[in-house]
Each structure stands twice: as structure tokens, then as C-alpha cells.
Structure 1
Amino acid sequence: MQLIIGGAFSGKRSTVRALHSEELSWVSAYDERSLNDWKLQWESDTSLVLEGWEKWIMKALLSEQNDDTIRQFFYLFFSELKEEEQKRGEEIILIMLELGRGIVPIDKQERRLRDIAGWVSQDAAKLADEVYYVWHGLNEQLK
């Protein structure tokens, strides 16, 4: 599993395309895709790209009050993805938006999103085989 993380419009998608010349199955929350769509959208002989995590996390925030439960859900989800990646022999790429830099939001729900997104990205980085940080169109491999 590979994690590509960086700020908004920092070049994360371009980095994915530069690192992966093969065909990609793309599941994006920005296209109103559900997190569970990956099962139907992942075509054989392609790598799977999942992006829009902050939207999927926000959806979880609206339905669950316990932050630890949300974090546990995403950790288990990443573990499931890793298992499927090994079964298929195809790579999974997670594109995550870095929300931890900049001004801390005044709104309680936005701060909660920022906190949980940070924990989820830490868990993704822990489980990922490779981690790239992207900023201003440049990427640096951290792991």
C-alpha cells in the first residue's frame, strides 16, 4: 500500500500518475463515490487509487460520536485493503489531504475532522509500505 499525502492542489494526483505508468482504477469521494465502491470499481490488472478521505471521514463523524470508534473503523479498513492488495498482487494507493497545517478551525466539528483526519493519516502511514509527501508539485519519499 502506498500513501500520497499533501496539501490541497499540491500535485498529489500528478505524483500518482508519475509513479504509476500502469492502468489505475480510481475511486474518489470528490465524484460522490462511497468508500465501499472500491470493491466494484477495482478492475483486474490495475492499481486502485482512493482519494477524498476527508469527505469519507466527515461522513463517519456525522454518524458516530466516538472518535476512537471512527479511528478503529478506518484502521480496520486499511488492514482489509492490505489483505486484498496481497491477494490480487496489485497496489493500492491512498491519496490523503494534509489538514494539519495552517489555521486551527474555530468550529468544533471542523477541529474534530482535522484531529481524526490526522490520526487516520498516521495509521495509513504506519500500514503503508511507501509514503510520499507532496508540496508545490514536488514529492519526497518519507518511507
Structure 2
Amino acid sequence: MQLFIGGACAGKRDAVRSRFPGACWHSAYDGKALEAWRESLPRQGVVVLEGWERWLAAWLVEEPADDSLRERLRTLLANWRDLERETAVSVLLILPEMGRGIVPIDRAERRLRDLAGWLAQDAAACCEAVWYVRHGLVHRLSADVPTA
């Protein structure tokens, strides 16, 4: 797995498109539920999962327990790592970096920010490569072998 992370409009999508032109995209911005990701799964190649802030916000409405949500996300990450081991498919995550700036006053907005941060930490721990995108510039943060 690989992770591209950065702020809003930082150039994450453009960076992924230029590096993986034939990738299959599964996006919350197209109204797709994350749970339907298998529908976008190619037989081989790269599948890109983006729109996490929308998926996370919807889950936060359904689930009051943050620990349950984090465990759900960890399970998804583990499933994708297993998928990569068993097939010729590579999973690529595009995540928003929400940890900078003003902490929201609204409790729901803080929960979203917290969950996005936990997802980013957990994804970074199990991805082969982590890329930070800012101002359209892509910087590799990690080349370590996943530990999770």
C-alpha cells in the first residue's frame, strides 16, 4: 500500500494521476460508499481510494464510539494488505491532512479531525511508502517496511 497525504487542494490527485495513469479510482466525491470498494477493484494494477473525510463524517454520525471506528479502519487496512499479498492489486490511499490549523469548536468537527489523524497514523504504519504533497510538490516521508 501507498499513502499520499496533504492539505486541501495540495495536488494529491494530480500527483497520483501522473504516477499511476491507469489506476482505478473509488471516490466518495463520486458518491461511492467505501464499503463498495470491491466494485472498483481491477484484476491487477492500482486501486485509489479517496474522499476519506466524507466517509469518516458519515461513519461518525452512525457510530458514537471512536474506538470502534478506529478498529473498523484498522481492519480495512489489514484487509487491503492481505489483498495485496494475495493478488496483483496495489492499494493507494489519498488522505486529507487535517491536523494543522485551528482546532474546531464543534465536537463533531473535532471527532472528524481526530479520526482522520488516527487513520493517517495507522495507514502510515502499514504502508510501504508515504508521500506528503504540498503546493504540488511530492516528498517521500517513509521508505520503511511496514510494521503493522
Shorter chain as normaliser: what TM range?
A: over 0.9
Moved over 4 A (4+): none
Q: Post-superposition shift, 1:45?
A: 2.5
Q: Post-superposition shift, 1:37?
A: 1.8
Q: TM-score, normalised by structure 2?
A: 0.92
User: Residues 93-121 of structure 1, C-alpha deviation per residue, up to 9 Å, x if partnerless?
Assistant: 00000111111111110011101110111
In 2, Cα distance between the equivalents of 1:133 and 1:89?
25
Identity of aligned residues (%): 44
Q: Post-superposition shift, 1:10?
A: 0.4
Q: Post-superposition shift, 1:125?
A: 0.4
Q: Residue in 2 aligned with 1:130?
A: 129
Q: TM-score, normalised by structure 1?
A: 0.95
In 2, Cα distance between the equivalents of 1:105 and 1:29?
23
Q: Post-superposition shift, 1:91?
A: 1.1
User: Residues 65-87 of structure 1, C-alpha deviation per residue, up to 9 Å, x if partnerless?
Assistant: 11011001001101001111121
CA contact (8 A) 2:131 2:138 kept: yes
Structure 1 residue 118 corresponds to structure 2 residue 117: yes
CA contact (8 A) 2:42 2:89 kept: no
Structure 2 alignment gaps of length 5 or more = 143-148
CA contact (8 A) 2:131 2:141 kept: yes
Q: Given residue 2 of structure 1, which amino acid in structure 2 is its aligned partner? A: Q
- What's the Cα RMSD here? 1.0
Structure 1 alignment gaps of length 5 or more = none
Aligned to 1:101, what secondary structure does the other structure show?
coil
Q: Residue in 2 aligned with 1:43?
A: 42
User: How many pairs are equivalent?
Assistant: 142
In 1, Cα distance between the equivalents of 2:68 and 2:28?
21
